[in-house]
Chain A
Amino acid sequence: MQLSDFPQTEPSSRQVKVSLVGNPNSGKSTLFNALTGLHQKIANFPGVTVEKKTGYAKIYNSSTGKPTSLEITDLPGTYSLYPKSPDERIPFEVLCDPGDENHPDLVILIADGTNLKRSLFLASQVIDLKIPAVLALNMMDLVKEQGIDIKLDELERRLGVRIVPVNARKGIGLEELKQAVISELHVPENDIFETGPLAPPLLKKIRSILEMRSDYAALQIAHHRDAISGFHIPDQQKKEIEEALATHEFDSIKIQSFETLERYKVIHEILQICMVKAVDDKPSLSAKIDKLMIHRFWGYVIFLGILFLIFQAIFTIAAFPMDFIDQTFTGLTEAARNALPKGVLNDLLVNGVLAGIGGIVIFIPQIAMLFMFIAILEDSGYMARVSFLMDKLMRKFGLNGRSVIPLISGVACAVPAIMATRTIGSWKERLITIMITPLMSCSARLPVYTLLIALVVPSKLIWGVFNLQGIVMMSLYLIGFLAALGAALSMKWFVKAKERSYFIMEIPVYRMPRWSNIVYSIYEKVRIFLFDAGKIIIAISIILWFLSSRGPGQHFNEITQQIDQLSTEQNIDQEALNKLEAQRLEFSYAGHLGHLLEPAIRPLGFDWKIGIALVTSFAAREVFVGTMSTIYSVGKDDGESKTVRDKMQAEINPETGQPRYTPAVGWSLMIFYAFAMQCMSTLAVVKRETGGWKWPIMQFFFMSALAYCSSLIIFQLMK
Chain B
Amino acid sequence: MKTALVKLSDLRRGARCIIDSFTDDVMKQKLLEMGCLPGETITVDRFAPFGCPMAINVSGSTLSIRVDEAQSVIVKPLA
Contacts and interface: CB of A to CB of B under 8 A. Distances in A.
B78 interface: no
A392 B51 contact: yes
Contacts of A286: 62
Contacts of B66: 391, 503-504
| Interface SS, B side | mixed
A474 interface: no
Interface string A63-82: 00000000000000001101
A505 interface: yes
B33 A80 contact: yes
A75 B38 CA distance: 30
A203 to B, nearest CB: 20
Interface string B18-60: 0000000111111111110110000001101111110100011
Considering residues A264, A300, A500, which has the most beta carbons from chain B within 10 angstroms of its beta carbon? A264
B48 A504 contact: no
Given A503-B66, A506-B63, A507-B62, A261 B37 contact: yes
A186 interface: no
B55 A392 contact: no
Interface stretch (A34-42, A110-118, A648-656): A110-118
A256 B29 contact: yes
Contacts of A503: 53, 64-66, 69
Interface string A268-304: 0000000000000000001100000010100110000
A115 to B, nearest CB: 6
A502 B33 contact: no
Contacts of B53: 388, 391-392, 503
Interface string A374-401: 0000000000100111011100000000
B61 interface: yes
Contacts of A504: 30-31, 34, 63-66, 69
Contacts of A507: 55, 61-64
A690 to B, nearest CB: 26
A186 B34 CA distance: 29
Contact of B55 (A79, A82, A253, A388): A388
A115 B58 CA distance: 11
Interface string A502-526: 1111110000000000000000000
Contacts of B48: 294, 296, 388-389, 391-392
B29 A115 contact: no
A393 B69 contact: no
A506 B58 CA distance: 10
A114 B28 CA distance: 24
A284 B31 CA distance: 24
B62 A253 contact: no
A84 interface: yes
Contacts of A505: 63-64
Contact of B32 (A84, A261, A391): A261
Given A115-B60, A503-B53, A506-B63, A294 B37 contact: no
Nearest to A391: B53
A571 to B, nearest CB: 71
Contact of B52 (A84, A257, A392): A392
Contacts of A8: none
B49 A260 contact: no
Nearest to A507: B62
Contacts of B25: 253, 257
B62 A84 contact: no
Given A505-B64, A507-B64, A121 B33 contact: yes
A114 B59 CA distance: 10
A23 to B, nearest CB: 9
Contacts of A391: 48, 52-53, 64, 66
Considering residues B31, B61, B63, which has the most beta carbons from chain A within 10 angstroms of its beta carbon? B61
Contacts of B45: 287
Nearest to B54: A388
Given A294-B46, A505-B63, A505-B64, A79 B29 contact: no
Considering residues B48, B51, B59, which has the most beta carbons from chain A within 10 angstroms of its beta carbon? B48
B64 A388 contact: yes
B32 A260 contact: yes
Contacts of A261: 32, 37-38
A264 B50 contact: no
Contacts of B51: 392
A114 B29 contact: no
Nearest to B22: A257
Contacts of A287: 45
A84 B30 CA distance: 8
Contact of B59 (A84, A117, A299, A388): A117
B46 to A, nearest CB: 7
Contacts of A121: 33, 35
B30 to A, nearest CB: 6
A114 to B, nearest CB: 7
Contacts of B35: 115, 117-118, 121
Contacts of B27: 502
Contacts of B49: 296, 299-300, 389, 392
A479 B35 CA distance: 45
A80 B46 CA distance: 27
B60 to A, nearest CB: 6
Interface in A285-335: 286-287, 294, 296, 299-300
Nearest to A299: B49
B67 to A, nearest CB: 9
B50 A393 contact: yes
A79 B52 contact: no
The 7 closest A-B pairs by CB, nearest first: A296-B49, A507-B62, A80-B33, A79-B33, A260-B32, A392-B50, A118-B35
Interface of B: 25-35, 37-38, 45-46, 48-53, 55, 59-66, 69
29 contacts: A79-B34, A82-B29, A82-B33, A114-B60, A115-B60, A115-B61, A118-B33, A118-B35, A121-B33, A257-B29, A257-B32, A260-B33, A261-B38, A264-B37, A286-B62, A294-B46, A296-B49, A300-B49, A388-B55, A389-B48, A391-B48, A392-B50, A393-B50, A500-B26, A503-B53, A503-B69, A504-B66, A504-B69, A506-B63
Given A79-B34, A392-B51, 19 more contacts: A115-B59, A117-B60, A118-B33, A118-B35, A121-B35, A253-B26, A260-B33, A296-B49, A299-B49, A300-B49, A387-B64, A391-B53, A392-B52, A500-B26, A503-B53, A503-B64, A504-B64, A507-B62, A507-B64
